[in-house]
């Protein structure tokens, strides 16, 4: 356990599964109180019962404007402070652009871009007043090069890369660190339709990685000295370039 994280209050969006769940478990191991934020109320109830008093449920639908706007105030009413905001929730669209539909595009951009910006906008005054805090976003390797097989998704991640670099500079005088972690393909709900044997072979070939690898990168970022910001960590499967 890192003493640098012990006693802090962390908020994780998309906390009920995948990278968010792995991040929650890592933060709990490090002595944090973790506000598990997700729209899946039943899953949150089960998980917070499992993890105990250090895990706090926050039911928020980030695609609902009122629910999204209420998230940070509701959490502050429960915990009194937010030391770490990990904006992890997101969705994915792959394939050719003309095969997508406008409603799906809107949904993904609202979740991957708008909700992230609004969550960070909401927490900044609290962190600026306290002169401390960490804000991290789950980005993607697709936010660093034009992935032609997923242009809408890639565009959403490029937007967040630009946004985070701008906000990071604005927060330097306030002692708030702003960063992102950019994974390659991760075993998650996005791969739920893959046959188990195909998943096993891809993992053995080094073409996929587990959510815990992203959580490990997040732990490294959060435990640096306060005067050090790890602005972005790209974590990819070893065989990614062959895909």
Residue 174 designated active-site: no
Kindly report each contact of residues 160-167 with a partner whose C-beta sits within 8 Å and lies 24 or more positions away, as own/partner.
160/112, 160/113, 160/116, 161/232, 163/113, 163/116, 163/117, 164/137, 164/139, 165/231, 167/120, 167/135
Q: Which of 92, 148, 153, 174 is catalytic?
A: 153
For residue 219, give the 3-state DSSP assignment: helix
Triad 90, 92, 94: Cα angle to 5°: 165
Q: How many CB atoms lie within 10 A of CB 29?
A: 13
Which helix (H) or strand (E) segment is 86 a member of?
Answer: strand 84-87
Q: Decide if 4 contacts 222 (C-beta within 8 A).
A: yes
Residues with a known catalytic role: 153
């Amino acid at each position: 356990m890192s003493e640098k994280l012990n006693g802090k209050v962390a908020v994780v969006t998309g906390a009920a599964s995948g990278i968010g769940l792995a991040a929650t478990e890592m933060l709990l191991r490090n002595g944090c109180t973790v506000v598990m934020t997700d729209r899946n109320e039943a899953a949150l109830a089960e998980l917070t019962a499992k993890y105990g008093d250090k895990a706090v449920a926050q039911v928020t639908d980030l695609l609902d404007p009122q629910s999204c706007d209420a998230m940070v105030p509701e959490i502050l009413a429960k915990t009194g402070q937010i030391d770490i905001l990990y904006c992890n929730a997101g969705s994915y669209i792959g394939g050719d652009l003309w095969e997508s539909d406008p409603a799906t595009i809107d949904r993904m951009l609202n979740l991957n871009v708008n909700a992230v910006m609004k969550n960070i906008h909401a927490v900044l005054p609290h962190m600026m007043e306290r002169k401390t805090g960490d804000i991290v976003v789950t980005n993607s390797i697709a936010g660093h090069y034009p992935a032609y097989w997923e242009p809408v998704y890639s565009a959403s991640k490029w937007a967040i890369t630009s946004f985070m670099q701008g906000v990071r500079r604005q927060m330097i005088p306030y002692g708030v660190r702003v960063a992102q972690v950019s994974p390659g393909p991760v075993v998650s709900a996005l791969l739920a339709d893959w046959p188990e044997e195909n998943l096993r072979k891809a993992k053995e070939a080094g073409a996929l990685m587990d959510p815990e690898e992203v959580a490990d990168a997040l732990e490294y970022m959060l435990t640096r000295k306060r005067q050090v910001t790890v602005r972005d960590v790209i974590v990819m499967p070893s065989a990614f370039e062959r895909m």
